[in-house]
Chains A and B, each alone.
Chain A
Amino acid sequence: MLFTEVRGLPVVPPDGAGPLGTVTSLSVDVVSGCVSHVWWRGSRFGRETALPWDAVGAVGPGAVRVGSAAADESAPPHHDLLGHRILSDTGTGQGTVLDVAFDTRTARLLALFTTRGELPADRLLGLGDYALVVRAA
């Protein structure tokens, strides 16, 4: 599934009640190459809350079903991958991230789609406030 497809999906609690809110973004742990948190907000002007991936029951189709909606207060600083600048470890710009494909069952990243073409997920080195650093080809 793509990050842009997950963004905007309703967050549905396990007891089948109405949706809690909508997904705003996904944060990624670059070292393990997995989605680590799902960020969502309850209302349009509400605060974003982080939900660890372990608390997510199923992603898609049409909704993100969660086990518990308890917020993870110890979530690391969030950097949205979409639109982020990409730098190679030699210091050369590689465009920006357009979209990311990931496996909804294992949360593993499969590939990144950038303004300069596709990028395998195993080349990621670090994600910070300035750029996503990838290993040079």
Chain B
Amino acid sequence: MNELMAARSLTTRPVVTLGGDAVAQVKDTVCDAAAARITGFTLTGRGLLSGPLKEGLPWSAVHALGHDAVMIRDRRGLVAAAAMTAHQQHLRARLLGARVLTEAGTEIGTVLDVVVEGGTGGRVVGFRVAASRRFVPGHARHRRRVYVPRGGTLTVTGRALVLPEDAVRHVADDLPGFTALVGGVPGWWRGSLS
């Protein structure tokens, strides 16, 4: 399985062509309405004083999403950013801060970050969640952050994500543990990853 990474860590990652030139850096990640996969990135220029670019990077132009750079074939893959984000959502705008519930109505917490799979797939694998006190008991000032797998059937209703009951049976404390969880534990979500 490819490396998992938090979507926030993609910000400022350079966008590099296979010819070795850096054309931009990632500003934000755009994903589809069902929060299933990445559809592209909005970009900023690479200089200290350069602002956001009018061009965006659709996922179809991405060669590979790697640990140190987003590789693209050449700069002609960039499209107008307005067209790309018209019907989709910025992570920052829609998903971050959304409530996470189970189908039975148990409140899990709120989304802090989205975990995506690197490589060529661009799948959304799970969420980093600020767990509510009922879901993860603990001291009030010491609220736990857990990684929750996305699962196959997630419904987005307004500002809430509704997960199946099975998805929250196992959660992880950190990203390596989460990688082992979604990659190593046999379960119904495994087929959606490999």
Contacts and interface: CB of A to CB of B under 8 A. Distances in A.
A87 interface: yes
B20 A89 contact: no
A126 B20 contact: yes
Interface in A76-106: 79, 87-93
Contact of A91 (B20, B21, B69): B69
B66 A125 contact: no
A88 to B, nearest CB: 7
B22 A129 contact: yes
A84 to B, nearest CB: 8
Contacts of A93: 67-69
A93 B3 CA distance: 14
B24 to A, nearest CB: 11
Contacts of A92: 66-68
A93 B66 CA distance: 9
Nearest to A91: B66
Contacts of A130: 14, 16, 20-22, 69
Contacts of A128: 16-17, 19-22
B63 interface: yes
Contacts of A132: 20
Contacts of B70: 91
Q: How large is the interface on A (under 10, 10 to 19, 20 to 34, 35 or more residues)?
A: 10 to 19
Contacts of B65: 91
A131 B67 contact: no
A79 B22 CA distance: 13
A127 interface: yes
A133 interface: yes
Contacts, number: 66
Contacts of B21: 128-130
Nearest to B64: A90
B185 interface: no
B64 A91 contact: yes
Nearest to A135: B18
Nearest to B119: A90
Contacts of B22: 128-131
Contacts of B66: 87-88, 90-92
Contacts of A126: 17-20
A93 to B, nearest CB: 4
Contact of A127 (B20, B64, B67): B20
A91 B66 CA distance: 4
Interface string B1-39: 000000000000010111111100000000000000000
Interface of B: 14, 16-22, 63-71, 118-119
22 contacts: A87-B20, A87-B71, A90-B64, A91-B67, A91-B118, A92-B66, A92-B67, A93-B67, A93-B68, A125-B20, A126-B18, A127-B19, A128-B16, A128-B17, A129-B20, A130-B16, A130-B21, A130-B69, A131-B16, A131-B69, A133-B20, A133-B71
Interface of A: 79, 87-93, 125-133
